[in-house]
Structure 1
Amino acid sequence: MKLGMLTACLPGWPLARIAAWAAENGYQALEVAVWPDAGGRDFVASHLPVADFGPREVDRTRELFDRHGLELSAFAYYENNLHPDPERRAGIRAHLKHAIDAAQALGVPYVGTFVGRDWTRPVAENLREAERILPELVEYAGERNVRIIVENCVMEGWHPDGYPGNLAYSPELWEWMFSLGLYLNYDPSHLVWIGIDPVEVIAPYAERIVHAQAKDVELDPRARNRFGHFGPATDRTDPWGMGWWRYRVPGLGQVSWTNVVDRLYEHGFTGTLSVEHEDPVWGGDDERVTQGLRIAHRTLRPLILD
């Protein structure tokens, strides 16, 4: 197991600066954000131009990672592959294929994305639609020796009422997506707030957990008693504001990282545990973000064997 970090938390930094900082601060791998330069979610980051990735870019990227002694654990392009707008969905699909092509060129084993959801249709219809379109992407990746990994993020902000916007949030849905050839980018933080024990679900699905993200979550049970599980209903100005929980860097929330890492080791996990920094306390500017990454490193590095 190696300790890495997702580069999306530093969208204004070039990849060379992130790589130098990560190596100097004890990180061993990078999960590189590869959204397009234009559009996307608020914290979109584009750290490699995968849509135009030729031999020159391949050589530069290899040299950068070799120089700093880092691994490139995965590409990150977490978008809605079931988007209800056909044009938007087609653009997401095309860019995901660009990411897969670039991963093949660099020998990167994984490209991360979301299953997503068409929030105008019920779950059953979404599952059938995913069964229609996702296997071709899995095959495209497999032909290039790349696996598609899906993070189990609920993506409640994609649904107008705060319901799941990514149909890969529970073990029931993991089993379904595994049948399509997808793998799991396991993130315990999402499991905690939806009431699933993040430690207990590792063993049954260990063979499909090939990459992991380290993000913590802080719960406020008193606020939950007011809003309920789905968050504010009458004054929801922020689609991502659930009102009773927030993300934290590892060590500042409810996840038992000692137990999570121990269980991953017990079941043979040899991939990267990648810090995904979305902590609002340690956010807002680059200095605070990097301090948050240092806190995460101090929490997790002692748990990972050399």
Structure 2
Amino acid sequence: MKLGVMTVILGEMPLREALTYLKSIGVQQVEIGCGGTPGKAHADAVKFMEDPQLLQEFQETVEESGLSIAALACHGNPVHPNREIAEDYHRQFEAAVCLAEEIGVDTVIGFSGCPGDCEESRYPNWVVATWPEDFQKIKEWQWEEKLIPYWKNEVKFAEVHNVHKIALEMHPGFCVYNPETLLKLRNAVGPVIGANLDPSHLYWQGIDPVAAIRALKGAIYHFHAKDTAIDTYNCSVNGVLDTKLFSKKEERSWLFRTIGYGHSESVWRGIFSELKKCGYDGVISIEHEDDLMTVKEGLEKAVQNLKNTIIFE
């Protein structure tokens, strides 16, 4: 495995400066945001596909850094019920696939997306209830009419452009949010679809990352290193479906934390051991979203903790 970082967290730095800094603290690979919600601070797939000079400058900067690119990130909701929003995310995602082909990267990361509940919807509708029966009808329509047809087409597009791994982040709020839904989509559209396994989104749902890794053996294409701390008291009162703003830190049932501040090093050793047993030997990419630490402090603590726990050889 290799130690990596999603460079979005250093978006205020020029790419060259960010890569030099990451190299200096022991990072081996990077995950570059090139559109969608990760933004375009270090790469804009749409512009790069239109301007070969910009692409060449980007490639030269990365090559000079001594780091390699593990994956491109272009998260979004390409099945959003607002067609303008959906089309924008779709355009950026396909540009990311084309960019990956140009620079020899085989993995593009994103979200599955979430449609509305009918053709006239204005907003996504994430179904998490079994009853009343209306919810089952919504879920069936979303999968059969929107999600599966969309990703069947995108899998074909990716294969034409030599991208064989679309790593969907299992994220609540979207149709693919746990191992079961990831495998459901993969079985429907083919093995180009795999998982970006981010334990932070699994922890607060009550999912054991080790169990998830076992369930997803052979379908894990990327790994985000991010932790979650559960507030036992708040969770006991209000449960895990906490929609309060992240700014209300003392009131929330859980918070994203840097590696080692939600779960111990021994827990992370177990996660990386299970990844190794399942044959995953890719990047462990730090994604920093810890509101209790500055970016640099959180990143450097994560790097140190991961150096102690990742199985490199």
Could you say whether these structures have the same fold, taking a TM-score greater than 0.5 normalized by the shorter chain as the test?
A: yes
SS of corresponding position for 2:211 = coil
Partner of 1:266: 277
1:111 aligns with 2:143: no
C-alpha contact 2:170 2:179 (8 A) present in aligned 1: no
**2: distance between equivalents of 1:113 and 1:240?**
27
Partner of 1:297: 303
* Percent of paired sites with the same residue: 28
The Cα of 1:113 is off from its aligned counterpart by 0.8
1:85-96 aligned at under 5 Å gives the runs 85-96=82-93
C-alpha contact 1:112 1:150 (8 A) present in aligned 2: yes
The Cα of 1:237 is off from its aligned counterpart by 5.7
1:254 aligns with 2:254: no
Distance 1:262 1:6, change over 3 A: same
1:244-284 Cα shifts (integer Å, max 9, x gaps): 100011111126210111111112112111001000111xx
The Cα of 1:112 is off from its aligned counterpart by 0.8
Partner of 1:47: 42
Distance 1:240 1:74, change over 3 A: farther
1:202-213 aligned at under 5 Å gives the runs 202-213=213-224
The Cα of 1:144 is off from its aligned counterpart by 1.0
**1: distance between equivalents of 2:204 and 2:306?**
21
The Cα of 1:170 is off from its aligned counterpart by 1.4
**2: distance between equivalents of 1:243 and 1:195?**
16
Comparing 118-127 with 290-299, greater Cα deviation is found at 118-127
Q: RMSD of the TM alignment (CA)? A: 2.0
Partner of 2:129: none
1:30 aligns with 2:48: no
Distance 1:23 1:85, change over 3 A: same
User: Structure 2 counterpart of 1:186, which letter?
Assistant: L
Structure 2 residue runs of 5 or longer lacking an equivalent are 118-124, 126-137
Partner of 1:285: none
Partner of 1:12: 12
Partner of 1:199: 210
The Cα of 1:238 is off from its aligned counterpart by 6.3
**2: distance between equivalents of 1:45 and 1:15?**
11
**2: distance between equivalents of 1:231 and 1:186?**
21
Partner of 1:158: none
**2: distance between equivalents of 1:281 and 1:260?**
24
C-alpha contact 1:10 1:45 (8 A) present in aligned 2: no
Q: How many aligned positions are there?
A: 283
1:168-210 Cα shifts (integer Å, max 9, x gaps): 1112101112122311111111111101110012123121102
C-alpha contact 1:58 1:105 (8 A) present in aligned 2: no
SS of corresponding position for 1:82 = coil
1:243 aligns with 2:238: no
TM-score normalized with structure 1 length:
0.86
